[in-house]
Amino acid sequence: MIEVQAVSIVYRSGDEAVPAVDGVSFRVGEGEMVAVVGPSGCGKSSLLLAIDGLLRPTSGRVLIAGEEVQGVRRDVALILQDAGLLPWKTVRQNAELTLHIQKRRESADGILSALGLRGFEGRFPAELSEGMRRRVGIARALALRPRVLLMDEPMANLDSITRERIQNLILDLWWEMRFTGILVTHDIEEAVFLGQRIVVLSPRPARVREILENPGTGTPDYRGSPEFLAQAKALRRILEGNR
């Protein structure tokens, strides 16, 4: 479904070349959820933007369903860390923003209800908790019924209870919609809870250090199981080797 083929990304700062991603390759199957983890600043977000089509790789390429990504696609949705809500628009207007831009007639009512936002459709972002704002950002992406969902640390800086609730919501929606997902996160437990496979990146410039199979994921009960704890321990060992 998604093929990342030897992708490198180099930024320019005056005459200086600053490598962010170096020859990263991995595949994501149809309907699979893959987590991408690595040290802060290692190039995870740059890689995700390249997969989305917002950033062109310096070399290498990204394919979705066999087609090379040349720009933003209608069947791919991106969730940003800060939700990216427009403060002058209501919850409903924010959730349906991309639908309107694409001139689609669908409503976001169903997904707002699924995310526990029924009754808040007329509120503005400033009237919501941080966790609710993140849910609106998720609703805006999922209202598109995307084939591919890309998530850039959508639960960062939330308290642990809110984070786990949103993780459970994403898991439920993945089972319902069966989108292909890539989750970029720095959180070990989050990666193990949601990623069927976990791509571990090195410090910048990002290279694939290891790909960890995680077959036990897929149910809320997994978080408290011995298998979950063992996988989290194994992932922590790999990341500590990055230092």
Residues 181 and 134 in one domain: no
- Within this chain, do residues 114 and 212 fall inside the same structural domain, yes or no? no
> What CATH number is attached to the domain comprising 173?
3.40.50.300
pLDDT digits (tens, 9 = 90+) for 206-233: 999 999 999 999 998 999 999 999 999 9
Pick from 145, 170, 188: which residue ends a domain? 145
Q: Which residue has the higher pLDDT, 66 or 157?
A: 66
What pLDDT digit, counting tens, does each position of 157-173 carry? 788 888 888 899 889 88
Sign of dihedral through CA atoms 98, 99, 100, 103? positive
Count of structural domains within the chain? 2
Q: The tokens of 93 are what?
A: 């207007």
Is 28 in the same domain as 67? Answer: yes
Same domain, 51 and 168: yes
Instruction: State which residues form the domain around 102.
Output: 85-145
Taking all residues of the chain, what is their mean pLDDT, rounded to a whole number? Answer: 90
Establish if 80 belongs to a structural domain.
no
Confidence (pTM): 0.90
Same domain as 140, residue 102: yes
pLDDT reported for residue 90: 94
Q: Looking at residue 157, what is its pLDDT?
A: 78
